[in-house]
Amino acid sequence: MQVSFACTEQTLRSRTSEDRLCPNRTSGGQNGGTGGQIKQRTPPLGTKNPNQVLPLLSHILRESTGKATGMKYRNLGKSGLRVSCLGLGTWVTFGSQITDEVAENLMTVAYQHGVNLFDTAEVYAAGRNQLCIQIKGPKILIRAEKTLGNILKKKEWRRSSYVVTTKIYWGGQAETERGLSRKHIIEGLRGSLERLQLEYVDIVFANRMDANSPMEEIVRAMTFVINQGMAMYWGTSRWSAMEIMEAYSVARQFNLIPPVCEQAEYHLFQREKVETQLPELYHKIGVGSMTWSPLACGLITGKYSESVPEKSRASCKGYHWLKEKAASEEGKKQHSKVKDLLPIAERLNCTVSQLAIAWCLRSEGVSSVLLGVSNCDQLLENLGSIQVLSQMTPQVIGEIDQILGNKPNIKKDSRA
């Protein structure tokens, strides 16, 4: 049975005042609000009382995030799931010298500003990559999923108004507590749901490929957890394009559920996969991109250009690799390029961080960019990148490419 993931441009344009993959207009009102009048589109043929239907639909879409915030929403790949173009990741937010109170404030501010996507994993702040926080005394071990679940339960937001994703691979020290066997996918997701205090997650990601597990077993297990109501969709994280295509082929062969999204690292200095491989998967099989580390673990912010600040991530235990990278020859070259981007950012009236995030958002097929922040000032600055998105013109992109000097060689196909 052949299934089509086609989502035509006409269909996307018929939606209300939300964002498409290549927006060419700015949000109305100050700070992306609704201060200006909204230009109504021509209603579909046969619609009764169009003046009442369109505003009502627009209200429903805004209400899903509490208020009209100027946040832009995109389909996750070519699925029907609508996610905020900026999501909040919990690797940094809940794991690096962050108290539960700060984590709750960050989630609240994000949700109030239209963020409806919260990403976590069974390994975050526990297991193999265990992180500690110091709060006026002994070290306290936290697990990101448990913290996220506690906050969601306390806030009592409507479950239908936000999207929670988690990743399965590293679950514990035992041999059966890691990998992508059917046993660990099912048991690992049950453990995540227990810590999150949720009946289901919206997306469960296979966090890296497992060479020890057959692809058919992985796809069947993901299909099972979806059919059991434990997840709505499934996706991949750090998989190659060939592995994603194999999963899709297995799903089509055995009438199973294919992945809808790939999580990939993407920033000014890491471009190849997201710009050359994933767009082809998006067009062919509808797999979208959810990207992470838009600021290259803080290197693009410029805070590591001279030295490593005391309370920065690179100064934390377990982040020696980041400290070494910042001081390496490659890191110094990247610092120099970030400085060269400053005049462009100043001309666009934004920070280099906002420029870098908006640059990620402009890429074809990117459904959402996950942010990692440790305080509200960083979060608000990053959210401001949405206002810069409309200024990502071909001329500006060309200037950035010239400075970076790392634009991938994209092969043109018949669609061009």
* CA atoms of 224 and 208, how far apart (whole Å): 19
Domain of residue 400: give its range.
Answer: 73-404
pLDDT band at 298 (very low <50, low <70, confident <90, very high): confident
pLDDT band at 90 (very low <50, low <70, confident <90, very high): confident
Q: pLDDT tens for residues 33-66?
A: 444 443 444 344 344 444 444 344 333 333 233 3
Q: pLDDT tens for residues 177-194?
A: 999 999 999 999 999 999
Residue 134 covered by a domain? yes
Nearest to 101 by CA among 371, 293, 317, 374: 374
pLDDT band at 312 (very low <50, low <70, confident <90, very high): low
pLDDT band at 99 (very low <50, low <70, confident <90, very high): confident
Confidence at residue 334, expressed as pLDDT on a 0 to 100 scale: 87
DSSP codes of every residue in 169-212: SB--SSGGGBSS-HHHHHHHHHHHHHHHT-S-EEEEEEES--TT
Among left, alpha and beta (phi > 0; psi -120 to 50; other), residue 373 is beta
Among left, alpha and beta (phi > 0; psi -120 to 50; other), residue 170 is beta
Residue 262 covered by a domain? yes
Residue 292 has pLDDT above 60, yes or no: yes
Nearest to 352 by CA among 313, 312, 404: 404
Confidence at residue 374, expressed as pLDDT on a 0 to 100 scale: 86
Which residues have C-beta within 8 Å of that of residue 341, sequence separation ≥ 6? 268, 352, 355, 356, 400, 403
pLDDT, average across residues 288-299: 92
Active-site annotation holder among 73, 124, 248, 319: 124
Residue 327 covered by a domain? yes
Active site residue 124: yes
Residue 311 covered by a domain? yes
Q: pLDDT tens for residues 100-127?
A: 899 999 999 999 999 999 999 997 544 3
* CA atoms of 43 and 16, how far apart (whole Å): 10
Confidence at residue 297, expressed as pLDDT on a 0 to 100 scale: 81
pLDDT, average across residues 202-214: 94
Residue 95 covered by a domain? yes
Residue 221 covered by a domain? yes
pLDDT, average across residues 86-113: 84
Residue 40 covered by a domain? no
Confidence at residue 127, expressed as pLDDT on a 0 to 100 scale: 36
Residue 33 covered by a domain? no
Q: How many structural domains is the chain composed of?
A: 1
The domain that holds 275 is classified in CATH as 3.20.20.100
Task: Give the pTM.
Answer: 0.77
What are the tokens at 39?
């230009």
pLDDT band at 19 (very low <50, low <70, confident <90, very high): very low
* CA atoms of 406 and 338, how far apart (whole Å): 14
* CA atoms of 31 and 44, how far apart (whole Å): 30
